[in-house]
Structure 1
Amino acid sequence: MNQNRLLARYRIETAYSLDHAAGVIAGEQSTGTFISVPGETASLKERFGAMVVSITETGEVMSPSLPGGEVPNNHDGVYKQGEIVLSFPIENFGPSIPNLLSAVAGNLSELQELSGLRLLDIEIPQEFSKAYKGPKFGIEGTRKLTGVYGRPIIGTIVKPSIGLPLDQLEKLVTELGLAGLDFIKDDELNSNPAFAPLEKRVEVVMRAINHVADKTGKKVMYAFNITGDIEELKRNHDIVVKAGGNCVMVSINSVGYTGLTYLNKFSEVPIHGHRNQWGMLTRCPMLGMEFTVYQKLCRLAGADHMHVNGLNGKFYESNESVVRSIKACLEPILDGYSSMPVVSSGQWAGTATDTFKAAETVDVMHLAGGGILAHPDGAAAGFESMRLAWEAAVQGNSLDNYANKHDVLKKAIDKFSK
């Protein structure tokens, strides 16, 4: 790879030829516009222009995927689909995530020549490592703080997601801590509401966590949701750290890559990256971007943990897509930037087997809300059922056979299996 250039791969759809569409994209995102202008010399285009590296036709459709496009004269009704790779000079935008996105995404999805465009992948030049140091904790640091090795970090989400009075929150966290959970997090809906301000929430949660630690010797990792405006991030982070907290959470799409980068500059604890709103960026297969791209940018900016949805979960995403997301987070970028995939949404003990079989790793955080809290024998049994399910999966035992030896696992199957 030429370290002076960045490669971007796209899926496109057009009523024009793929060659024509690729040329329009390359011009629009570098030196060109809809018409030649004075100053756009051959030497300027050679130095600063985006170049088409490859074009691969993948199929045809008879109707456009997106509205509002144009068609050439005498159009035959066929829309061509393909993958293209473009090369951008890094000096056009420098080692800057916001400006990189302006280059590789920009106004492309609005071009009339396109009835579909999706950013599939980017190859990030080494120069970005000078500006973005990435996760400070990642997988290794998170395992060290939780003391969990050889299996996934198992945790849950505070439920009800929002509205729980502070006294009940303290009771719940105490119960979950005594149950042995490794990790608990705020819901993304609950950051700094009037009924439970962050400062008060930190106070009662840390009181519960320290009480449990005094009894058991284990300090559960709790991800406090500190999402807010840029100027609030340091204040909120410092409230957590001063109280002895060991993790903060932000909604990445709410604070943006710049907010995440800013937080990472001073954060003293792992940053739990929640991707809520992600569906708006990805659900249409001919629009938005792949998680492959998204997680690279989030890891560069400093996310120690990255949500990836869960197998057989409650959201639309296919199991194959979730597995690709898990593996993407574990693939090194710029020779490092470790981030732990967070498997969540509709999870319970029974999803452990499929997750391990498909992802072939225990380097995940496996979160279950109802799958732990709603276990017939309580949260401790819910946690134990998750731990046993992973134990069975790693050993190659079937879930049903293992359940014959462990009643908490059998009850989880009876309760949660569809």
Structure 2
Amino acid sequence: MAADRFEATYLIETPLDPAHVAEVLAGEQSCGTFTRVDGETDALRERARAVVESVELLDVAERPSLPNGWMQRRGLYDKPQRWQRARLRVSFPVANVGANLPTLAATVSGNLYDLGEVTGLRLEALKLPAAYRARFDRPAQGIAGTRALTGVHGRPLIGTIIKPNVGLSAEETGELVGRLCAAGVDFVKDDECCGDPDHAPLEQRIRAVMRRVRDHEQRTGKKVMVAFNISDETDAMRRHADLVQREGGSCVMVSLNWCGYSAVQTLRRHTPLAIHAHRNGYGALSRHPLLGFSFQAYQALWRLAGVDHMHVHGLQGKFSQTDDEVIESAHDCLAPLAEGLDDRVLPAFSNGQWAGTVPATWDAVRTDDLLFMAGGGILGHPDGAAAGVASIQQAWDAVQHGESLSDRAARSPDLRHALDFFGKKAG
């Protein structure tokens, strides 16, 4: 790939010639429109136009995946059609965009989803030259920094989520976090639905929680990382992050899709705290196979904003993603965005996780560079949260040493009780 161009890969569906559609797409997202206009000289087009690098024909569908008023107006739905699917690779001049993340996102996606020539379009992948990637923000902490802040080495970080999701007062939240610290957890995060509620104002919650975290560190030497949900308008997020830092915290959480690229970039440049990137709402952008974003492209754009952790959901979990998609997402997070740069982020496994999903996770990724989060899998353990944490620790230790969970459970009651209790629910 040329140093002065970046590439995007698309999956499209169309009754038209895919090569023609590819040229329409390239023109629409660079210097062109539906007709040649005054000032669009050959020299300008040579300098600024996106280039179709390849067109790969795939399968043919019997019916269109998405409605399309443009095609209806032209009568294309009124007669039999071949709804051809194809993979396009298009390169864009770096100079068209510069180090401008919102414009980069608009260039590789933007109005493409409204093109009349397609009945499906999905941004599958984004590839950046190293020099261009280096112009954007990087993680402030990433994997190595998160390990240093928590003191966890040689195994995954084990985390949990505040449950109940909402409803606890600030002091009740602080007391729960104190119990979770005592239980041996490495990481605690707010739920995405709990930001700054009337019953537990964020400022009060930060102070109540961090008092327990500091007390636990003084007693044990272990500092638990807490990801406070500071999602808000930009100035408020900066104020919240400052308070977390003054109180001795090390992490904040942001709901990416609802705060936006610019707000997250501003936050990154404002604070050294780890940014735990929550992707809630990603399903609206991804669940249809011919619309939206693949995770590779999605996480690439957000990593340019400088986040440190990325949610990938969990194996055998409660959400709609297949295990293959979760595995691929984790590998995306653990791969550099460009050669020669270590800008990897920590994949955060969550949703329906417990000790019994550890083997599948280990078999899939074969690395301990991950955050394994369990809400009910810890707080719902029949013997309490401490036993829930211990059961997951025992499961990870077992798989890392090539031991089956059943063998380890024979001498580890916490794990045995988790398998008995949650295994019945999973079955």
Work out the CA distance in 2 between the residues paired with 1:38 and 1:207: 65
Q: How does 1:341-356 map to 2 (within 5 A)?
A: 341-356=347-362
Equivalents in 2 of 1:19, 1:298: separation in Å? 30
Write the distance in 2 (CA, Å) between the matches of 1:87 and 1:169. Answer: 49
* Paired AA for residue 85 in structure 1: R
| Matches of 1:95 and 1:205, distance apart in 2 | 38
Give CA-to-partner distance per residue, 1:194-225, whole Å, 9 cap, x none.
21111100111011112222222212111111
Q: How far did residue 166 of structure 1 move?
A: 2.2
Conserved? CA contact 1:312–1:346, under 8 Å: yes
Aligned to 2:24: 24
Counterparts of 1:52 and 1:340, CA distance in 2: 34
Counterpart residue type for residue 255 of structure 2: S
Q: Is the 8 A contact 2:109 2:123 kept in 1?
A: yes
Distance 1:25 1:42 in 2: 18
SS at match of 1:114: coil
Aligned to 1:104: 108
Q: Is the 8 A contact 2:150 2:225 kept in 1?
A: yes
C-alpha distance in 1 between matches for 2:219 and 2:134 = 44
Give, in angstroms, the shift of residue 300 of structure 1: 1.7
Aligned to 1:216: 220
Instruction: Output the CA distance in 2 between the equivalents of 1:56 and 1:386.
Output: 45
Say whether the 8 Å CA contact 2:94–2:132 is kept in structure 1: no
Q: How far apart in 2 are the matches of 1:170 and 1:254?
A: 27
Aligned partner of 1:303 in structure 2 is: 307
Task: Measure the CA separation in 2 of the matches of 1:254 and 1:323.
Answer: 25
Q: Report if the CA contact (8 A) 1:221-1:247 is conserved.
A: yes
Q: Does 1:144 align with 2:148?
A: yes
Q: 1:339 aligns with which of 333, 338, 345?
A: 345
Q: Would the aligned equivalents of 1:184 and 1:221 in 2 still touch at CA under 8 Å?
A: yes
CA contact (8 A) 1:178 1:216 kept: no
The runs of at least 4 aligned residues of structure 1 exceeding 4 Å deviation read 71-75
- How far apart are 1:259 and its partner, in Å? 1.1
Q: Secondary structure at the match of 2:304?
A: helix
Counterpart CA distance in 1 for 2:256 and 2:196 is 16
Root-mean-square deviation (CA), in Å?
Answer: 1.3
Q: Distance in 1 between matches of 2:277 and 2:220?
A: 28
**Alignment match, 1:282:** 286
**1:262 counterpart = 2:271:** no
Point out where structure 2 has 5 or more consecutive residues left out of the alignment.
none
Deviations 1:96-139 (A, max 9, x none): 11111121112111111100000011111334345323101100
Shift of 1:73: 6.8
Distance in 2 separating the partners of 1:180 and 1:271: 22
The answer to whether the 8 A contact 2:188-2:224 is kept is: yes
- Aligned-residue sequence identity (percent) comes to 45
State whether structure 2 residue 219 is matched by structure 1 residue 195.
no
1:177 maps to: 181
2:376 corresponds to: 370
The number of residues matched between the two structures is 418
**1:49 and 2:49 matched:** yes
TM-score, length basis structure 2: 0.95
Whole-Å Cα distance in 1 between the matches of residues 143 and 62 of structure 2?
A: 46
Distance 2:3 2:105 in 1: 18
Whether the 8 Å CA contact 2:183–2:386 is kept in 1: the answer is: yes
1:395 Cα deviation after fit: 1.3
Amino acid at match of 1:245: G
Which residue in 2 is equivalent to 1:384?
390
Q: What amino acid does structure 2 have at the position aligned with 1:168?
A: E
2:163 paired with 1:159: yes
Per the alignment, residue 90 of structure 2 pairs with 86
TM-score normalised over the length of structure 1: 0.97
CA contact (8 A) 1:95 1:127 kept: no
